[in-house]
Copies of this chain bind each other. A is one copy, B any other.
């Protein structure tokens, strides 16, 4: 059995104006949907970033996959390495952390290959990863400050403006009511630090038993991070990326009482030795999209266990193919014992048949498979690809976007 055809379809998915330290989400987020078709007619699905560099990398590697045995995942990576001699990262040059193009591209294709394997075997991807140790995979509520409406729109979206601690708590109540999430994460770095501290205390009051997290994406100084970390003693299960870089994280870790988590300071295996030597990070946020795939994420999990590191899961805006892959991975990883992040509830549509998945008690049931256990809704794929072509958006730029709302907005790292 070999790969005979590779289809890569960029899609744009309607989004809402969620705020972060860089700016605000654009009116659409971009993803690439991958279909690998075998000579036996099995179609394996994958999903990853849809911005320019990733899309180009996927397309440059596509031909190299023709003839690949979908079990030969070592060979898959070698072919991608050959096809992308330039290497490099997928993010914009101004990004504070970048993901290796080779890891991103081979991961997307690996997921599709494992989907093929599962479909061939009539087995779920979680079975291929050692079997689910939990049938329900818990996710955390991903809380955002936000504008009331997209730039140029006349009316607020259903969430309205969320730019105060009280409004954020209301948003959390709604997300909780609709999804049952059992832990809460705030995308911080948006309001003044004291307002974000106030927000966390108000969340604690409103949700006395929910584990809480805040993630300012590294926009604080070390001094600010230490002050906030001390102020939130007893409130947070972990503090995510308060500052940038391993040395900065280590400086904060020495002074604050809670574990530090990261998806910015440690984003590839080769970052771990320095981070471990400096005890910079206590919880690694895995993400199969850039750690090299589902199997690489299992390696990461075992490494974290060996070094006494916690393990949680990072998310970008994504569709149901990635959601399924994340769920299978989390289900089959015994020491992934924090609720996973996901942007998924913020979206109203999906490219998988059956439409948007629902969380129950904050968790998703592991799809039964075969493979990922999801199928493409081709009409929806066409619709979202048409939106991609029509939108004119080919890259993510939250800073440019926020200037539509706040003329002259300047991104600062660190800001506070």
Contact = CB atoms under 8 A, between A and B. Distances in A.
Contact of A131 (B73, B133, B334): B73
A306 B306 contact: no
Nearest to A273: B307
Contact of A128 (B71, B272, B305): B71
Given A121-B121, A273-B276, 13 more contacts: A71-B130, A72-B132, A73-B131, A74-B131, A75-B133, A120-B121, A130-B295, A269-B305, A269-B306, A272-B307, A276-B276, A296-B302, A298-B299
Contact of A306 (B128, B131, B303, B334): B303
13 contacts: A71-B123, A71-B127, A72-B132, A73-B131, A74-B332, A120-B121, A121-B121, A269-B306, A270-B306, A272-B306, A296-B302, A300-B302, A303-B303
Minimum-distance CB pairs A-B, first 9: A72-B131, A269-B306, A299-B302, A71-B127, A73-B130, A74-B130, A74-B131, A74-B133, A299-B299
Main secondary structure of the interface of A (DSSP, over half): helix
Contacts of A131: 69, 71-75
Sorting the interface of chain A by its residue count into under 10, 10 to 19, 20 to 34 or 35 or more gives: 35 or more
Contacts of A332: 74
Nearest to A128: B71
A406 interface: no
Contacts of A72: 127, 130-132
A87 interface: no
A154 interface: no
Contact of A308 (B71, B127, B273): B273
Contacts of A127: 69, 71-72
A277 interface: yes
* Most chain B beta-carbon neighbours within 10 Å: one of A127, A270, A306: A306
Interface string A24-49: 00000000000000000000000000
A103 to B, nearest CB: 13
Nearest to A268: B306
